[in-house]
Structures are given as C-alpha cells and as structure tokens.
Structure 1
Amino acid sequence: MQKPIKLITLYTHICESYKNELQWEVKRFSPNGNIGQITDEELLTIYLFCTMYEQKTTKRAMYEHIIDYWHSWFPALPSYKNFSVRLNNLVEAFQLLLSLSMEEFELSADKIPILIGDSMPVITCSHKRRARVAPDLADKSYCATKNLHYFGVKIHALNLHRKTQLPFPVKIGITPASAPDITTLRPVLEVTHVQAVFLDKAYCDKNLKLKMKQNENELLTPIKKMKGVSAALNQFDKAANDLFSTAVSTIRQPIESFFNWIQEKTKIQIASKVRSKSGLLVHIYAKLVASVLMLLQF
C-alpha cells in the first residue's frame, strides 16, 4: 500500500474514533480554540503516521519531516512550540485510543487463551544525573536485564500468546520504575479469567497462585529455590525443576520479543529528550498505540 493511501486510511480511522470517543477526553481551553488551526485529528494522525511508516520517533523529527514532505497535506501546521504543546494536551486521547485499539483484537474461538507478561523500562536519564522530569511519576531503579541503574518508569504488559506471531497486548500499565512487578499486576491477575498465565520468577507467590486457582486460572512461573532447603533435596529435584522452568521460559520468551520489537520500531525506551510529565506520557502512550495498530496490520 502506498504511503498516501496509508495516511488517508489512518486519518479516517482517527476521525471515526475521535468522533465516537476521543473528543470527550481532549482538553479544551476555549470554545473556538481550533478555528483556523490544525485539528486534534490531524495531530494524532501526524504522530502515529510518522512513527508507524516514516521511522520518526521524536516530535522534532516528526515536525521537520512533515514540513519537508507532507506540508501540503497539513497546511495549518503551527510552529514547533505550539505543535508540541498541542500534542501534550492529547495525553488522555492517546490513552483512550490505546484501549480502543487493543479491544479491536479478537482471539479465534478455537484458540486457548494463554497470557504472558513482563515489564520494560522507559529511561528518562542516567542515575548519575539529577532527575527533573515527572518527579511524581518517574524514580530511580535497577534493570537486571540491562545491568543498568536509571531514572524513569516501567511499562507492564499482559499479552495473549500467539503461535508464530508476536503476542498481542490486552493489559498495559505504567508505574514508577521502582514499583515491584508483582505488586503492580496482582490486582489484575486476581480477576483474570484465562486458562493459564506464564510469568517470570518475580511473580512466584503462593497466595496469588491460590487466589488465581479459585478463579480456575493457573499461574506458571520458573521454579524458585526455597530458602532453608538442604542442598541434597535441591539436587534431587533439580532435573525436574530445570525442565519445568525451561518449558515456562520458552512459552514466555515471545514477550521479550514483543518488547524488543516495540523498541526497534519506536525507540520507546529512550525518553531523554522529554521535558514534562505530559510529554513523557505522550511519548509512551502514542508509541504503544502505533505498535498496537501495526500488530493489527493497519
């Protein structure tokens, strides 16, 4: 599909969503604030189009790209400062659009619903620097996967497992970087109704497993060594435990591929150029919307 057709298709989709749902979530500062100006639908389309099809991942790069190649399509494009401010006012619209986009996915009736989950960091700055962006949301933490101390937030995701395809997200949330994974997902997992949920060792919790068992859900995690158990007993069970842990990790692996794919396509983990809380939330939610739309083969 040629890019002009993709742009028109995306804009039509955004307009329909805006008319039905998004318009009620947009900040209004005056009753005639948009007369003669670029519309919210156009701003949403610019961000998503540049992310999905033009590999532009910062507001500045998007703005300059539209000026150079697509300005005739958006003749009311304002100055960069106003462009950035208007986008930051669309945080709630991007957040709702993410929920609406995830709801468009339908799992085939013959498929067994299996969830896999994990979290990924979004880094606003190094731990060696003084953090100034979104101090009420971002904080300091350590990412074992990257062996990195950082300031920022974490994206938590529960995805439907799909054979030979990237898992599709059904639940996504944002927390401070220091928030424990199990504390964040516990309220969601306790009311989840699927056949099984595959998570990592951070979610090993007997009470959570029992609670999920009552809802006919199975929580499966790699085996975690028990404190106070003798080395002989650990060695006795080692072969079986290793096989089970390997099987769980194999099923969980696509969630890592999902996060790596999002980072490759949108550079979502790099938020060092963000200067405000609203800018950080737009950076995250807009890129997640673009990722979900790409998974839907939009």
Structure 2
Amino acid sequence: MINQAKALKLIKLYQYVCDKYDSELQYYCQRFSNNNKPDFTDQEVLTIYLFSVHEEQRLRIKQIHKFASDYLMDWFPKLTSYVAFNTRINRLFDVLRSLCQSVIEDFTPEECSREFSLLDSMPIITCSGTRRAKVALEITDKSFCSTKRLWYFGLKLHALNSYNKSTLPRPESIVISKASESDLNIFKENWASIAGRTFFGDKIYRDAPFFEWFYKEKKSIMYTPIRETQGKPDCLKNRDRAYNDLFSRAVSKVRQPIESFFNWINEKTQIQNASKVRSTKGLLVHVFGKLTACFIKPIFNP
C-alpha cells in the first residue's frame, strides 16, 4: 500500500491520463482485434509507468513492474506479468509521444517568455562508439559528443525552450533525431517558421546567409557566441577580441539555464543512458516516457 498523499497523486494522474486518452490518445493505439478492450487497460499501464518514474524514481520497466506488484495491486488488481506489461508499454510509444507534447502544452507557466527562446541538444546513448550497435538502427547512428568528449551510438534530443527568468526554462517543443543530425538542420526543419522571436543558441547555429533571410522574412533573430574566422590576421583578432569575448559571454549566460534544464532531466530520469533498451519501440518509450514523467508535476500541484 502507498500512503494517502501518494494515493491522491495517483488518483489525479489516473484521471488526467483517462481524460487525455478519451479525447485524443486512443487514436494512436487503436486495436482491430477481439482483444480491443483488455481487462488491464492502456490508461492503467500509462498511469503505473508515469507514477513509478515520477514519484518513486523507478527507471527500468522491471523496477516499475515490481513496485506495482508490491504496492499497487489494490489499485490495479488486473496487473499482468512483467513480460506482458513490458509488451504493453512498448506498444504505447506513439501514445507517450503525443502525451508528452500535451503535457508540455497544458502546463506551460504563464510567466514563460514568448519573445525569447533557448536552443540546445542532448545525446541519448544506446552504446559506446567503440562497440557494435545492434539496437534501433533505423533511428540511431554514430556521432561525437564534444561536451562529453566521446563517440557514441544513439539519438539526439533537441529542445526549444521558452525563457523563464525565475526558474528553469520550459520546453515549447521537443524533437529527436539520429545522433549525427546537425542542430542547425533540425532548427531549419522544425522552427524556422516562428516569427517575431529572439533565439539564443550555441556556435553550431551560425549560418549568416540563412539567418539574414530569417530576420528579413520572419523578423526573428538568432544570437550565438562568436566563432573566430580561420585565417584572420592576428592584428584583427586582437582588435576584436574584447568585443567578441564580452558578446559570447553574454549569450552563454542567457543560454546557461537550458544546460541546467538538461542536467535536471538527466538527474531525475537518467534519460541519457539507454544502454538497457532492446528495441526501437523501447527506445522511444524510454525517451518520451521519461520526458512526460518529468513534466507532470503540475498535475499534483496546480
């Protein structure tokens, strides 16, 4: 059994999941078989997963199932075996993807700025670059992470966050890509239509011709740290160094909260470590399930 405080949180989460499932999520997991209404429902599977990750920090499916078996049987008497539970949650990867975006949209604080946005990415590592990758090869590949100074196989998690002066920036949109995909390409594909916005990114987002067009057409501007031009004479480098250093430090200071945001997600869910994942669906559940669990706190504390 769980205590009363946690029981109230479980009820609130289950109610939210049921409301979302009835209004939109059911269309991402429709069944066309005789078992289209299982005794152990999708809503219960999602609730157990999210509650266990968010409230109990049970991060692996086996840990989640064991917690449910030990403490939640009074609430979910139709709980299936571990193997069946693992199969069910993996089938809900598209549901978790949609639910993650819904949670982001539903609980964005009013104080988040719609004028300033922060951009960055984080690796999701399925295995070391020195090993032979065998999992989710259709959505992963090999790349180098300069921050961690390592080669790895996996995904890259890209986030567009609204600036929030008082606390961590809140995600506005999240995209995943293969590890080798450029952050700049992801920006062009997903967020280049946003008008009237000031973006802060790192040096990878430097593309003068594109952002000149971006400012002219969309009235949006991108600020990044200044990268020294190769082959530039030392006298010109010395002349511009003070301005360049001050400007780069100012941009990096504004961007620093999104780095803290990624650190917070990883500390809470260990999302970067996907070495235990054994399938493409499992990898997508690992990413979007952990992200959703991070952002559901307002359900309990509106």
Match for 1:199 among 198, 201, 222?
A: 201
Aligned pair 1:124/2:126, yes or no? yes
**Counterpart of 2:160?**
158
TM-score, normalising length: structure 1: 0.95
Quote the Cα distance in structure 1 between the aligned partners of 2:64 and 2:29: 21
**Alpha-carbon displacement from aligned partner over 1:235-261 (angstroms, at most 9, x marks no partner):** 101001100000000000011000000
Does the 8 A contact of 1:167 with 1:258 survive in 2?
yes
Match of residue 49, structure 1, among 48, 51, 55: 51
Shift of 1:218: 1.2
Alignment of 1:19 with 2:43, yes or no, is: no
Deviations 1:29-75 (A, max 9, x none): 5143333x210000011111011100111101100111111121111
State which drifts further: 64-73 or 114-123.
Answer: 64-73
Please list, as runs of the form range in 1=range in 2, the aligned pairs for 1:102-117 lying within 5 A after superposition.
102-106=104-108, 108=110, 111=113, 113-117=115-119
Aligned residue number for residue 2 of structure 1: 5
The letter for the 2-side match of 1:26 is C
Structure 2 stretches lacking a partner, 5+ long: none
**Do the aligned residues in 2 keep the contact of 1:57 with 1:266 (CA within 8 Å)?**
yes
Match of residue 135 from structure 2: 133
Mapped pair 1:86 → 2:96: no
Where does 1:1-298 land on structure 2 (aligned, <5 Å)?
A: 2-35=5-38, 37-106=39-108, 108=110, 111=113, 113-214=115-216, 215-294=218-297, 297=301
Would the aligned equivalents of 2:107 and 2:298 in 1 still touch at CA under 8 Å? no
Answer whether contact 1:190 1:208 (CA < 8 A) is retained. Answer: no
Structure 1 CA distance, aligned partners of 2:54 and 2:111?
30
Letter paired with 2:187: L
Task: Give every structure 1 segment of 4 or more consecutive aligned residues whose post-TM-superposition deviation is greater than 4 Å.
Answer: 109-112, 295-298
Distance 1:154 1:217, change over 3 A: same
* Displacement after TM superposition at 1:228 (Å): 2.7
CA distance in 2, matches of 1:87, 1:112: 35
CA, structure 1 residues 194+168, in 2 after alignment: closer, same or farther (shift >3 Å)?
A: farther
Provide the secondary structure at the position in 2 that maps to 1:2. helix
- Cα deviation per residue 1:78-137 (whole Å; 9 max; x = unaligned)? 111110011011011101111111211456489552100110011111122221101111
Post-superposition Cα deviations, 1:162-220, rounded to whole Å, max 9, x if no partner, equal 01211111111111111111111112332112430000000011122113202111100
- Contact preservation (8 Å) 1:190, 1:211: no
Count, aligned residues: 297
TM-score normalised by length of structure 2: 0.94
Residue 290 to residue 110, structure 1, CA distance change in 2 (3 Å): closer
CA distance in 1, matches of 2:281, 2:30: 12
- Paired residue secondary structure (2:74): helix
Residue 267 of structure 1 aligns with an amino acid whose one-letter code is Q
CA RMSD of aligned residues (A): 1.7
Aligned-pair identity (%): 43
Q: Structure 1: which 5+ residue stretches go unaligned?
A: none
3-state DSSP of counterpart to 1:197: strand
Distance in 2, matches of 1:74 and 1:34, equals: 16
Following superposition, the deviation at residue 227 of structure 1 comes to 2.2
1:181 to 1:231, Cα distance in 2 relative to 1, 3 A: same
